[in-house]
Amino acid sequence: MSRQLKLGAFLMATGHHVAAWRHPDVPANAGLDFAHYKRLAQIAEAAKFDTLFVADSVAAPTQDIASRMARSDHFEPLTLLSALSAVTEHIGLIATATTSYNEPYHVARKFASLDHLSGGRAGWNLVTSDNAAEAQNFGRDEHIGHAERYSRAREFHQVVTGLWDSWQDDAFIRDKASGAYYHPEKLHVLNHVGEHFRVKGPLNVARSPQGQPVIVQAGSSETGRELAAQTAEVVFTAQTSLASAQAFYADLKGRLPKYGRSADSLKIMPGVFVVVGQTEAEAQEKYETFQQLVEPEVGVALLGRMLGNFDLSKYPLDGPLPELPLTESGQQSRQKLLTELAGREHLTLAELGRRIAGGRGHYSVVGTPAQIADRLQEWFEQGAADGFNVLVPHLPGGLQDFANGVVPELQRRGLFRTEYEGRTLRQNLGLARPGNRFA
């Protein structure tokens, strides 16, 4: 069978557009409405999406403007995906968990549990936290610096994956007749001692259906790419154009051989923000409906956060983007992307805030299913993507539009599955099941 693209449904409570919560079709309490998420999961699974993807931050914003944004209350991702595992059968479940404000034992245990609960559908989006406010919820005044976060992340990953191999696949026999619960020689105690962590192990969860949950990474700076090349099986990235996505794709795949990895062992899935209409005019009109709801100060607050935790409220709305230092606390890759966008198009602060209010800097396509499929096909066939994490302006409507329009179009072109290939996320993504390092 020819190569087909992978699709993730990025579930962002009310939707990706910052003003979506004010739209009449959107439940404003979506962030804590399980029935809403259940419906999203079922729409995505019926459309044969590979994964549900849930981002995270372990802090709520407190600036004045935050009271006008729907960002302050939402489910914790692993809890949410555990509940969704019970109402779905095939779709992958990717939760974000930070390596900066967690302990590896906790993370290893929770994701192994989710993999068991879901019959092998768990994925961990390993991030280092791009929200500076998290530090103060975990006993620190300042966020951990960029390089230090990645150093901790690398060791965190080693410990988590080591704990996942605590038991060989057939360690637990639970033999009532002989009284043997497990084979002692199939237990492996990690005894990790490193710069950041001391973790003895073993994990108190048997090796999970996928052997190890799928490792996803979102971070596209130089250091982020290197960590991804070493550890990630799926990479989520923000790219503005075909050319930049091709360069990123070639760069990241080019780093794999040095870690003894094949190009196929890592799937690159850029985000794509899509607004679907029956006609191009209808799609534009839909998009404008959301854009009209953006208050300039709200757009600029989102921009400041995406640029790497800057307060831009003191700068004139109709002035240019001010010169900012390289972010230590946020996403350096996104800062670069947004700064280049502002310069290239000579946008004022308010215009840039408005521009990213939906896609947040991700590649954006507003059009008919065929027009959107054309762009996805182009990226997929021209070395820019193995698939896409799909961002829609509002939920559930935007996801339903994509499922009803774009998915059948991709299927007609032979670019997307009509049935799930396997039972586990690894099988559907075409990723090998890792062997146990100790076996």
Ligand X SMILES: Cc1cc2nc3c(=O)[nH]c(=O)nc-3n(C[C@H](O)[C@H](O)[C@H](O)COP(=O)(O)O)c2cc1C
Footprint of ligand X (CB under 6 A): 55-57, 96, 98, 127-131, 218-221, 224, 236-238, 271, 330-334
Closest-CB residue for ligand X?
Answer: 224
Show the tokens assigned to 343: 């310069």
Shortest distance, CB of residue 55 to ligand X, whole angstroms? 3
Strand pairing partners for 199? 192
CB 301 to ligand X: min, Å: 17
100 or 368: whose CB is closer to ligand X?
A: 100
- Those residues whose C-beta lies under 8 Å from the C-beta of residue 96, and which sit 6 or more positions away, are 54, 55, 56, 77, 125, 127, 218
Q: Are 121 and 85 spatial neighbours (Cβ–Cβ below 8 Å)?
A: yes
Closest separation in Å from C-beta 153 to ligand X: 7
Q: In this complex, which beta carbon is closest to ligand X, that of residue 30 or of residue 126? A: 126
Of the candidates 341, 353, 286, 289, the residue with the CA atom closest to the CA atom of residue 315? 353
Residue 229 CA, chain-centre distance (Å), reads 17
DSSP state of 264: G
- In the block, residue with structure tokens 């080693």: 158
Using the minimum distance from each CB to ligand X, give the nearer residue, 190 or 245. 245
Least Cβ distance, residue 397 to ligand X (angstroms): 23
In whole angstroms, the minimum distance from the beta carbon of 221 to ligand X comes to: 3
Judge whether 82 and 114 are in contact, CB under 8 Å.
yes
150, 98 contact by CB (below 8 A): no
Query: From the CB of 439, what's the least distance to ligand X, in Å?
Result: 31
Integer-rounded Cα radius of gyration of the chain: 22
CB of 37 vs ligand X, minimal distance in Å: 17
Quote the least distance from Cβ 104 to ligand X, whole Å.
Answer: 16
Exposure of 193 by Cβ count < 10 A (0-12 exposed, 13-18 middle, 19+ buried)? exposed
Q: How far apart are CA 361 and CA 207, in angstroms?
A: 39
| Helix 146-164 with 222-231: angle, nearest 10 deg | 10
Q: Which of 74, 70, 116, 59 minimizes the C-alpha distance to 93? A: 116
Q: How far, in Å, CA of 320 to CA of 300, rounded?
A: 12
End-to-end CA distance of the chain: 33
Nearer to ligand X, 52 or 55 (CB): 55
* Shortest distance in whole angstroms from residue 217 CB to ligand X: 8
For residue 151, the minimal CB distance to ligand X (Å) is 12
Q: How far apart (Å, rounded) are the C-alpha atoms in residues 168 and 165?
A: 7
| Measured CA distances, 432 to 62, 80, 213, 231 (Å) | 43, 27, 11, 14
* Residue closer to ligand X (CB basis): 205 or 245: 245
Whether 334 and 308 have beta carbons less than 8 Å apart is answered as yes
Q: What gap in Å lies between CA 134 and CA 118, rounded to an integer?
A: 29
